[in-house]
Every structure is written in C-alpha cells, then in structure tokens.
Structure 1
C-alpha cells in the first residue's frame, strides 16, 4: 500500500501495489532500504527513513519462516492443493469429453487357421481417422460404431476408485479453504454442513479470520497513516454492527446484567459507557 507522495500535506489517496511488482532492496541495518515498484520496465523507488523506518509504502505481510523480507501468501501455502483441484477439474473435463470412460479397444480377430490378427499401415491409418472424425468427443457420444469384418470392440472401463475425482476436488477445496482461514463447512460440500455447524462456522470465520485480519490492518494504519492527520486520532471499526456477533454479545450483556458482584458503573465501563452518579455502590 502506497500513499500519494506529498510530504507537506496528509495523503489524500492510497494505492494497492501488486506484490509481484514490488522488490525490497535490503539495507545494512536489517531494515528495507528501498521499495522498488517496477511496471513496463520502469522502476519507481520509495526510500525508507533510516532512523524511523517509515516510508511512503506500508508493507503488510504474513509470517514467512523462510524469508526475512517477503511474507508467505496463503496461495503459496496451498499451492499443491490448488494444483490438485485444477487437475481434478481437468480430469473431469477430459472424462466428460470421452463419455466418462476410455474409448475402449478395437481388437483384430485372428482367423481359425491363425492368420490375420493385424492391420496394414493403410488400414490402421484409415481406421484411426474414422474414429477421430466420427466417434470421438462429446458431440459424438453414444453414436454406434461400425466395424468391418475381423474387428471387435472391447469395452474398457475405469474402477470406482479411478472415477472418484469429485472426492479429490472436495478434499483439495477443504485444504485451500483452511489455508485462507475459511471453515470448510462454508464451501457447500455435501455432507459437511448442517444448520447448527454452519452457524458455528460463520462465527468462527469472523472471530478467527476476519476480525484478526482487520485488527492487524487497523493496527498498522494507526501507526503509519493516522499520525499524519493528528496525534489524537485513532482508526477503529464498529464491532457492534456485525450481525453474526450479535447473539454472542447479547449473552454477554445478559451475563453482566445479572452479575450481582459488579456495581452499575463497573457494568457500564465493561461496555464503554460513561459512569453515572451514585453508580459505584452495590445494589
């Protein structure tokens, strides 16, 4: 994320930079020296203050145990599962184009005296072209094949294990979702979700993924951006406006309301409300 450069005034715009175009030039003091953004063979350098470490670029990254400068993307962590999911889709497409089974085999029968059993090169090429032109692909699915004398069609089918590409896709989809912190129950995979665990999964998504990510972004913005507008400012969000958290919040309110060991002002302070006169005594 980069601000529109104007050192005399607070920034008026923020731009999201493509991570693959950003290069970090390390400095000698173990902090970035320059953020270099390259596009169309043109490089734009954003220097980093040696004393404060501040720059016009805000680098938000996830933890990477293998690199000191660049974060580890969830896509990179789930790369194998993504490849498996794509390959399962390609397998599915290829199977559909072939009628969900191999074409089978055309066997040349031998004569009773043992002669025959093979085709000439010309016969082989003609038969191959005939099959490709008239009997392959989804358009020709189900069309009966006409065989000449001495040729026999042998059906070839896949085992149920080989055909289980759907479960392979579902397994890969679960791994990809977990890499991004999304409960697999929200993917709509048959058998994974009921009404009760779907509600719990939505709550888990907010509490364990969305809100921590939001807190991380706001924390960085409060350190990097808001001081440019004033020292007494703080960026925050309205947690009470999140619908999925309302039921849990109502249970907390009811618990605090019925707490006989807390004074009225202690209860109000727990919810960010100002104290009231005479509210410091237990009722």
Structure 2
C-alpha cells in the first residue's frame, strides 16, 4: 500500500488470501465413510431435500416487510421505499421475491453461504437484489479488514464487488470468521453414511435383490468344468433382471448364500435411523418431512409448532439481521427495519387464528380494525376502539368494599 493510500485508507484490489468455496467443498466435505459427501448429492437425499424445501419454502412464503418506526413504539409498513418492493414483490425484474428468497435460503442450507448483488439508485436506496450462486463467488479479506467479493459466472466473466455491494448470508461462522459452514459439512459423517446406504440399496435393486452365494461341489473340478458351471449359472440368474425360473442343481451340488438379506442385516431400520439423524441436523421435526412411524394426532400438532419455534424463527432472525446490516445504512436503521411476519404461519389454522384474535380483543390489545387488517379486510367505522375488562383495575385503585373490612 502506498503512502497516500495509507493516509486516506483506500481499499486496494490486490491479491489477498482467499476463501474459495469450491476448494472448501473439495477439502472440507471428505468423510471417513465410503461415500464422498458432495453437497449436491447430499441435498438430493429424500429427507434432506424435504428439510431444505420445508425451511426455504415456508420462509419464502412468509411476508418480509420493511417497517418504519413510529411514535409510542408503533410501526408502519414503509411501502414508499424501493426496498419494500424488492423484499415483498419483485427481487429484480426477472425474479419474484418468493423465488429469490427461496434461492438464498437453499444456498444457505446447502453451501453455508448465500450471496446477492445489491443494486441501488442515485439516492443510495436499494432497488433490487440479484442472487449469485455460492460456487461462483470468492471472498477475500482486505488489509483494511473489509471484505472483497469476486464473482465468476459460467462464461468466465469476473466482476469484483466490495462489501457494501453484496448481501452475504452465513449459516454458521467458520474458523476464519468470514465464511459460513453448511450443515452438510458440519454433519458430513452422517451424510456419508446415508449416501453409502443409498448406494448399497441401488446396487441391490440393480441385482433384483439377489444375494451373493457359492456353489459347493462334493468333488474337485477341473478349471474348465468350474468355469462352465459358473457361466451356465450366471447366464440363468444374471442374464435377465426378471428371473422367475427354477434352478436344478444335480450331482450333489449345494448353493450356499454368502451375503445377508436386507431384513437380516436390519438395513431398512438402519436407513430409518439415518433419516431421523438428517432431520435432526436441520432441526426439522420428523413428522414434518414424512417420518410418521410414531406419529399421533397430538405430537403432529406439537411438532408443527416446534417447527416454527425451533427451526423457522431462528433462521428468520438470522436472515433479518443480515438484511438490516447489508441493505440499510446506520442512519436508516434508526427509523427503518426489516422483519418477517411469522403470524402468517397460523393462517392455515382458522380456529387457532380466530381464538388468538378473540383473546387479543377481549383483553384490550387488539382493535377490530387491527384484526381486520390481519385478515386483509377493509377498516370499518368505529373499529379503532379497544376493550378493557371490567374486573381489571390498576393496583392500588381497587374501590373499597362497601360492607367494610372483614372482621
């Protein structure tokens, strides 16, 4: 860095130590198991795909609003801000807000990092977000401590972006303090076991689940006779995938199976346990992803609530804080903030939703118009009134008992 650059603190686009996600994928996802943990293959497992879909689609479906702080801790939607439309309607001219947010959450859960280029207008307001695939991005820490991002598209074109020009979501901060670590990498041994079991199941299905075995002859055979017997048996068993004929082994020949069946090896039960482990990795309740072996009406209802509290709410907070830090200036954050409306998760249960409205109305913290706004209904005249329970008074203001004190 030159003398003037040191004085003015200019950021230099020089060669800095890099954190390449492709290199991290190659070196960091190896496991001691037989299967190499490729994020694409691992996320393609049925349970992993279900977990990723549940989290990404539910969060993308939730309203993500830009709010403006008002007086008395109130809030109003800042619909006049360009950022509101980018988060709520269209992320960019080619991508809806749902599609863009779903892409970012899927990238976060599979690669541990999600990126989007920030587009601003002449007033410095965010107008659009352009998601970037994690494998196309390289992150570098500059001498100033700030980050520099280099995006390389499929045509080999490179674009260098500084920290203020990129939205960077991280699943969990890695040892370098810059890159996120994906749940697939954190639990690569579990995914390695699941991939190995899947490969084994595919091999067994390719052989029509025939077990391996040995032909036992009572007397020694010459090499030609041994090969001839094996060829005839192989042609009969392995010649066609669908084998329905019977084998006749004469001359005292006995067939001894060498491999265990799936039932004897408890292979199916082992795969079920692995599926449960994958659901635990993503903090998704088993019944939500179709594991219903021990499902009852009560625990299904409870696990649906657990999905919101233990899985979706922490992920929503992670995304919200990253969005507030990247898309709003420190001055803007004094009056504006971004937040999910997780109340939308209750819209599928009308009875529970209306029961919550009743409690809020009777106890005085919801007005009819506020309830109608939550249901996307127009306001009504006189709908701003709040109720107060008659049996509730402030402490110390309770009227004296007319009959006097109890003696």
> Structures share a fold, TM > 0.5?
yes
**Which region of structure 1 is more displaced relative to structure 2, 167-176 or 58-67?**
58-67
User: Which of 136, 139, 142 in structure 2 is aligned with 1:21?
Assistant: 136
- Correspondence for 2:229: 127
Matched, 1:3 2:3: no
Aligned to 1:70: 179
Whether the 8 Å contact between 1:185 and 1:201 is mirrored in structure 2 is yes
Q: Which residue of 1 aligns with 2:306?
A: 204
- Quote the offset at 1:195 in angstroms: 1.5
Q: Does 1:172 align with 2:274?
A: yes
- Does the alignment pair 1:43 with 2:43? no
Structure with larger RCO (C-alpha < 8 A, sep 6+): 2
> Aligned equivalents of 1:276 and 1:156: distance in 2?
80
* 1:221-248 C-alpha deviation (Å, 9 max, x unpaired): 23322559x7744333433332268766
State the match for 1:56 in structure 2: 165
1:221 equivalent to 2:221? Answer no
Rounded Cα–Cα distance in structure 1 between residues aligned with 2:186 and 2:295: 25
Deviation at 1:249, TM superposition (A): 6.5
Note the aligned Cα RMSD (angstroms). 3.7
Q: 1:113-262, aligned counterparts within 5 Å?
A: 117-120=220-223, 122-136=224-238, 139-147=241-249, 149=251, 151-156=253-258, 158=260, 162-226=264-328, 232-243=335-346
Worse-superposed segment, 245-254 or 73-82: 245-254
Contact 1:104 1:153 in 2 (8 A): yes
Matched length: 261
SS of residue in 2 equivalent to 1:16: strand
1:188-219 Cα deviation digits (max 9, x unpaired)? 33423111111111111112211221232223
Check 1:224–1:280 CA distance in 2 against 1; reply closer, same or farther (3 A cut).
farther
Deviates more, 1:218-227 or 1:177-186: 218-227
Distance 1:84 1:136, change over 3 A: same
Aligned to 1:52: none
Determine the C-alpha separation between the residues in 1 that align with 2:230 and 2:140. Answer: 59
Gaps of 5+ in 1: 49-54, 111-116
Instruction: Name the CA shift for 1:279/1:91 in 2 (closer, same or farther; >3 Å).
Output: closer
Give the Cα–Cα distance (whole angstroms) in 2 for the partners of residues 206 and 15 of structure 1.
28
Moved more, 169-178 or 147-156: 147-156
- CA 1:85–1:257 in 2, change beyond 3 Å: closer, same or farther? same
Q: CA deviation at 1:257?
A: 6.6
Structure 2 unpaired stretches of 5+: 1-114, 372-382, 394-407
TM-score by length of 2: 0.54
Question: For the structure 1 residues 134 and 216, does the alpha-carbon distance in structure 2 shift closer, same or farther, using more than 3 Å as the test?
Answer: same
Decide whether aligned partners of structure 1 residues 166 and 187 sit closer, same or farther in structure 2, where only a CA change above 3 A counts. Answer: farther
